[in-house]
Structure 1
Amino acid sequence: MTESNRELVILGVGSAPFDALLEILEERNTVTPAQLKLVVGDEAEADPQVFANRSIPVVPLKDFVFTPEQVVLLLTGGDAAMAAMAKAEEAGAWVVDAAGISRGDESVALIHPLLNAEALQAVERRVVAVPGAAAAMVAEALFPLRSQLKSVEVVLNQPVSALGKSCVDATAAQTARLFNGQEPDVDETTGQRLAFNHLSSAEALLESGHSVSELALVLELRRLLGDSIAFDTTINTASVFHGQLANLSVQLEAPVELATVRGLLANGARLEMRERPSAQDAVGSENTLVGRLRSGLLGPAWINFCAASDNLRKDIAINCVQFVHLLLKTH
């Protein structure tokens, strides 16, 4: 099988990370226009998409034929994604779940291309998952300290793009109405106003008081960093379109000099030290920005710092492209 025979199939045209993904694929020459196939659910419609100055048709799932030479990337969930996963796996294609539809299935390896790509060599199935944007960023920020971690509390401020493109569009429309002195409509997805607001939770709460996304973040962090680490998470939604920021309160197994922690973080892969990181600074960057490093007040083994990143371009699009490149080249 030659590389030119390989194809990348994407389900998720119009999803929040889709445009960024096409940009990265083109910038890095990961695939040619002839190798790119776009699929949409049978009930959906999508116009042809431009990639590398070529028009790429969007094919309904019912009319698409999967083959072993393909890598199938799922950017959105739902029935169409579940059907595509089943058909692609049956055909012998590689499936990359970037929408969390296989979350909780221990037979599907969770792989961050920067942190544990070697796990690909021991997968049980040709279905693998990449972590969500929040887990990808937080895991990168904590990875240099992983051997010393005892517990971590994550307070994530996610942007509205983490909720999907419809919420981005709703926020834009609400902002326009507010600037024109009109009362905006409440967002149907969250049941709350998104523009000029800060939500304690964008989701319904479980009996425990957590949201599904908070528990999913704990699950993914434990799979990436180790089951021995205790995690707690809170996910707020800030009224910004793109860029996420997490405040991390970390308990180490034993006290460590702050200068040592700073050195470990400064040398971490794809980490960039900043005095005061912001989500705005992170948008467009290919690094996770870390900073505000300080000793915690809960005890000598506690440290606090924050991390910020571009949730769509870096934590979804770039991670997916790196993983797809690996599969197309070597698998």
Structure 2
Amino acid sequence: MGYKVAVVGATGNVGREMLNILDERQFPVDEIVALASRKSLGTEVSFGDKTLKTKDLDTFDFTGWDMALFAVGSEATKKYAPKAAAAGCVVIDNSSLYRYDPDVPLIVPEVNPQAVHGYGKKNIIANPNCSTAQMVVALKPLHDRAKIKRVVVSTYQSVSGSGKEAIDELWNQTKGMYVPGQEVEPSVYPKQIAFNVIPHIDVFLDDGSTKEEWKMVAETKKIIDTSIKVTATCVRVPVFVGHSESINVEFEDFLDEDEARDILRESPGIMVIDKREDGGYVTPVECVGDYATFISRLRQDSTIDNGLNFWCVSDNLRKGAALNAVQIAELLGREVLKKG
């Protein structure tokens, strides 16, 4: 006996990836439905060797459905997630809408699986921001060993984090560089993204940080430990898929780099590729399509008493979004709903 699962926003990058991963991981599905806005009604999407035609989210009745994986923006989520939850369908939401709600658990299954038991207050579980998800997978096992005081992170985030229009903008701007008269002006981003980097993701806040940076701070505290201090600089780079992060960690206790490497090698969801030679590290191109969060360039930081530096790379459409949502669904089924 399996589950009745709805994928909301099934025609988008993340929604399609959710369908792919549900199939790849052989999630126990008895029935699955692809939902989208009315303008996408009837669009065909793939679920393994099956083809699904999208149904209208606006008129869909969630009664009798076990889980709904939401991959739509906050506005649509605000309208439809409470309806699904009220109908008894557990919502696993990829938007930012519920992440900071104290009555909604924010979960990365490798990090805080016990939080799933708090889903019942609103029948909603939140998926963290893509840049946070991969970072906390790496931080948690180290925190368990030496307790983290402070994290300084700089991100190098791919354009797929902004959706299909951003991918098209990078592609078209890149082509336009080589064809006189076909230059493409920025529309998704405030400045050219091709052959450039933009230190600006989401809106600016009063303190000069961006909302993306604030998300990394708030979510790390909620998922791991409120006492951890985090400062972030989030940068958009001309990469199609795959987020990278340069992470500096200060611990309360000394942690040797070799021990840290061993801890990470044994931790769930992590792959350590760390050879001190040309190419002995992972780049975003190499992580695309993979489930793992990759750690490279691990080394002691000699400028502070208890510090480490490392490089962290993951497929943002997978671990940063769709994979984490499916892992939450697996956790929910295993620990709470317990069908089959």
Partner of 2:76: 80
Shift of 1:128: 0.7
Contact 1:61 1:80 in 2 (8 A): no
Shift of 1:71: 0.6
Contact 1:41 1:80 in 2 (8 A): no
Partner of 1:116: 112
- Over residues 53-82 of structure 1, what are the superposed CA-to-partner deviations in whole Å (9 max), with x where a residue is unaligned? 333221222221111433111112143221
Partner of 2:143: 146
Partner of 2:88: 92
TM score, norm. by length of structure 2: 0.89
Of the three residues 277, 283, 299, the one matched with 1:278 is 283
The answer to whether structure 1 residue 252 and structure 2 residue 257 are counterparts is no
Partner of 1:11: 8
- Over residues 175-202 of structure 1, what are the superposed CA-to-partner deviations in whole Å (9 max), with x where a residue is unaligned? 2222323453233222221222111113
- Where do residues 56-205 of structure 1 align in structure 2 (5 Å cutoff)? 56-123=52-119, 124-147=121-144, 148-205=147-204
Structure 1, unmatched stretches of 5+, are: none
Distance in 1 between residues matched to 2:137 and 2:112, nearest whole Å: 11
Give the secondary-structure state (helix, strand or coil) at the position aligned to 2:218. Answer: helix
The percentage of counterpart residues that share the same residue type is: 26
- Over residues 79-134 of structure 1, what are the superposed CA-to-partner deviations in whole Å (9 max), with x where a residue is unaligned? 32211112111212101111222122111111112222222123323111121221
Partner AA of 1:28 in structure 2: R
Partner of 2:23: 26
* Residue correspondences, number: 327
Partner AA of 2:78 in structure 1: M
Distance in 2 between residues matched to 1:186 and 1:45, nearest whole Å: 31
- Over residues 2-27 of structure 1, what are the superposed CA-to-partner deviations in whole Å (9 max), with x where a residue is unaligned? 53xx3211111332222322221222
Partner AA of 1:290 in structure 2: I
Which shifted more, 45-54 or 109-118? Answer: 45-54
Distance in 2 between residues matched to 1:46 and 1:102, nearest whole Å: 29
Shift of 1:162: 1.0
Distance in 2 between residues matched to 1:221 and 1:31, nearest whole Å: 31
Distance in 1 between residues matched to 2:169 and 2:290, nearest whole Å: 25
Structure 2, unmatched stretches of 5+, are: 275-280
- Over residues 281-314 of structure 1, what are the superposed CA-to-partner deviations in whole Å (9 max), with x where a residue is unaligned? 2222221111211221422212111111111123
Distance in 2 between residues matched to 1:113 and 1:270, nearest whole Å: 10
Partner AA of 1:108 in structure 2: V
Distance in 2 between residues matched to 1:223 and 1:261, nearest whole Å: 23
What value does the CA root-mean-square deviation take over the aligned residues?
A: 2.0
- Over residues 245-267 of structure 1, what are the superposed CA-to-partner deviations in whole Å (9 max), with x where a residue is unaligned? 10111111022322222222222
Contact 2:9 2:71 in 1 (8 A): yes
Shift of 1:328: 4.2
Partner AA of 1:251 in structure 2: E
Which shifted more, 39-48 or 262-271? Answer: 39-48
Partner AA of 2:130 in structure 1: A
Contact 2:20 2:46 in 1 (8 A): no
Shift of 1:44: 5.1
Give the secondary-structure state (helix, strand or coil) at the position aligned to 2:190. Answer: coil
